[in-house]
Amino acid sequence: MNIVATIQETLDYEIAGIKVIEMIEFAVIFIIAVIIARIARMAVRRRFKEKLSPTTLNNMEKVVYYGIILIGFFIALPKGVSLGGLLVAGGIAGIVIGFASQTVVANLISGLFLMVERPVEIGDSIAVGDVSGVVKDIKVLSTTIRTWDGIYVRIPNEKVFNSNIYNYVAHGARRFEYTIGIRYSDDASKAIDIIKGILAEHPLVLKYPEPDVFVSELGESSVIIAVKIWAPSSHWYSVKKELLWKIKTILEENGIEIPFPQRVIWMAGGEKKEGRGKGKQR
Amino acid sequence: MNLQTEEFEIEVTGRGKRRLYRRRAGDEEVEKIIYADDGNIVVCPVEPVNMPKIGAAEHLMVELKKSVIFEPDTKNTFYVKFPIEVGVFTVDKKDVERIDIFTTVKAKYALYGPPESGIICRWWRSDVYAEEPEVNPLKEGVLRVDVENKYHEWVELQKVVFRAFDMKIFYNEHAYMHGMLTLLKKTTGETSFNTRKPKNMHGAIDIYAAKGIKKFDKKYFMEWGFK
């Protein structure tokens, strides 16, 4: 009896006008709300994973997760706690915390602007400052990027917001280029036709805008051919990796070679001698 | 099951629950193992935007070998050919799952519109026919295009862009689609599809429906011109 009475007394004990039992109820309901929110978030992810873009799905998950937690918070609030008072207290606390942590507030506001302006989305290939990789998450305070070599990088949103952002996949198509040097003795027109033929055969080299292949420079050791190619932004890198060696191989099969650097040296009073390298004399 | 043509070969072998799916088209060979109690394998044409990379495009651009010019306030019909992609699906009462998609025609892509806001399309060039043309059914399908020029000026058409999401493909001896193009201005128009099944034709499996995406009637707005 004595123990029961002690427990009852403890539960009825008031701290700042709120009974201990109400605090326990608050904690239990809040924890249940967090568990439900996590289950709901997982359900949303499973249900819409293949149907929504990563950014939309991420936003939907956050709305569901924090929405349920917020509802749980208000349900769990003890009766003695005034919502108005809580908001006022929260506001005052917010101002105090804001002054104390201006960087956090700056990141928060930058994060909100990033979410509204949306210069990058989850899954985009981007470069911010000296970091480049794939955007994995855009949170309220920070943006996380997986670099090309697989390293996790967390960038404060203020830095993202104030930096030049290069989004490599924001547009449907992007251009890349090669410069290919051939010998002076080779037929540049033939080389251009061969390269154009290779590009025409590749499905992901865009038909429009048409690829541009032309002699761009008469170099010291070679005739420089510029090859400018448009490809879908989502696949440009694989196209770029694939084509250069193919062009080199097919040019060589057709007797067109890429020369080593060379220099013709005239000896005073002597014979003309060729410099090192395979290329022929100009 | 064994389906053999000059262009490709599909074979499903095995007994009981475990089957081996094997497909050959050109130099490419694909093998997959299927575990199933029930269900059928369906081979049919699919929206021609999946090869060689699924996700590279969601639109089909048909460039016309000869321009077509339309008088104001008229309705006309012409036919073009479109590229065939073959889809292989497992189908049971509950679900449809894609096993494989392949093509025997050369794929090419193009940008419709400017680089900053244009869209990547599967590109195809076709003659313009007054009547339904003969096609190689393993490579080409027939696309009927009903054109209505609602603009008060003549409009010249060199290309037409359709969204794969809106497509409805039918087939018997060859694949068939019935597209519609409304010319709104000199450089803008809307494309859509007639989804009503023609007589003696089967409806092809829709890859978007197979993914569980609900379809609704919608038009594609061609805002970057017809040339």
One DSSP character per residue, B43-102 reads EEEE-TT-SSSTTS-SEEEEEEEEEEEE-TTEEEEEEEEEE-EEEEEEE-SS-EEEEEEE
Residues B112, B161 contacting (CB under 8 angstroms)? yes
What are the chain B neighbours of A203 within 8 Å (beta carbons)? 51-52, 106-109
- Tracing tokens 């969601």 back to the chain, one arrives at B58
What are the chain B neighbours of A230 within 8 Å (beta carbons)? 111, 115
Confidence of residue A177 (pLDDT cuts 50, 70, 90): very high
d(CA A154, CA A100): 22
d(CA B65, CA B112): 17
- Spell out the domain ranges in chain A: 2-81, 119-167, 173-262
Interval B129-140: pLDDT, tens: 999 999 999 899
What are the chain A neighbours of B109 within 8 Å (beta carbons)? 203-204, 206-207, 232
Give the distance from residue A54's alpha carbon to the nearest chain B alpha carbon, in angstroms. Answer: 15
Domain that holds residue B136: 2-222
Residue B25 has pLDDT above 90, yes or no: no
- Tracing tokens 């809106």 back to the chain, one arrives at B166
Note whether residue B227 is domain-resident: no
Residue A82 has pLDDT above 80, yes or no: no
Q: pTM (2 decimals)?
A: 0.74
**pLDDT computed for residue A187 by the predictor:** 94
Structure-block tokens of residue A39: 């289950």
CB contact under 8 A, B123 and A204: no
Residue B98 CB partners (closer than 8 Å, separation 6+): B87, B88, B89, B207, B210
Instruction: Measure CB to CB from residue B108 to each of A50, A207, A235 and give the nearest one.
Output: A207
Instruction: Measure CB to CB from residue A230 to each of B111, B117, B123 and give the nearest one.
Output: B111
Residue A241 has pLDDT above 90, yes or no: yes
Confidence of residue A10 (pLDDT cuts 50, 70, 90): confident
Nearest by Cα to A205 from B123, B177, B63: B123
d(CA B64, CA B226): 10
Confidence of residue A76 (pLDDT cuts 50, 70, 90): confident
What are the chain B neighbours of A234 within 8 Å (beta carbons)? 55-56
Nearest by Cα to A111 from A147, A137, A145, A146: A137
Give the rounded percent of residues in chain B with a pLDDT score beyond 70. 96
CB pairs under 8 A between A and B: 56
CB contact under 8 A, B117 and A230: no
Interval B159-213: pLDDT, tens: 999 998 889 999 999 999 999 999 999 999 999 999 899 988 988 888 776 666 6
CB contact under 8 A, B110 and A206: yes
- Structure letter (DSSP) for residue B36: -
**Sign, Cα dihedral of A99, A100, A104, A106:** positive
As beta bridge partners, residue A174 has A231
Note whether residue B189 is domain-resident: yes
What are the chain A neighbours of B116 within 8 Å (beta carbons)? 171
Residue A280 CB partners (closer than 8 Å, separation 6+): A183, A184, A185
User: Under an 8 Å CB criterion, which residues of A touch B?
Assistant: 50-51, 171-175, 201, 203-204, 206-209, 230, 232, 234-235
Residue B105: closest C-alpha in chain A: A203
CB contact under 8 A, B56 and A234: yes
Residues B145, B156 contacting (CB under 8 angstroms)? no
Residues A147, A153 contacting (CB under 8 angstroms)? yes
CB contact under 8 A, A203 and B108: yes
Residue B216 has pLDDT above 70, yes or no: no
Residue B48 has pLDDT above 80, yes or no: yes
Q: Count how many Cα atoms sit within 13 Å of the Cα of residue A67 in the half-sphere of its side chain.
A: 8
At residue B186, the 3 state secondary structure works out as coil
Instruction: Measure CB to CB from residue B111 to each of A51, A203, A209 and give the nearest one.
Output: A209
Average pLDDT rounded to a whole number, residues B26-41 = 87
CB contact under 8 A, B109 and A206: yes
Domain range A173-262, CATH class = alpha beta
Residues B117, B188 contacting (CB under 8 angstroms)? no
d(CA A71, CA B112): 47
CB contact under 8 A, B56 and A232: yes
- How many structural domains are present in chain B? 1
Instruction: Measure CB to CB from residue A207 to each of B109, B118, B212 and give the nearest one.
Output: B109
Note whether residue B214 is domain-resident: yes
What are the chain A neighbours of B106 within 8 Å (beta carbons)? 201, 203
Average pLDDT rounded to a whole number, residues A98-117 = 76
**pLDDT computed for residue A274 by the predictor:** 53
Average pLDDT rounded to a whole number, residues A122-129 = 91
In which order are the strands placed within the sheet that holds A173-182? Answer: A173-182, A223-232, A212-218
Confidence of residue A200 (pLDDT cuts 50, 70, 90): very high
d(CA B194, CA B201): 14
CATH fit for domain A119-167, picks 2.30.30.60, 3.40.50.300, 3.40.50.880, 2.60.120.10: 2.30.30.60
CB contact under 8 A, B56 and A235: yes
Residue A168: closest C-alpha in chain B: B116
**Sign, Cα dihedral of B195, B201, B207, B210:** positive
Which of the residue ranges A147-161, A262-276, B199-213 would you say has the lowest mean pLDDT? A262-276
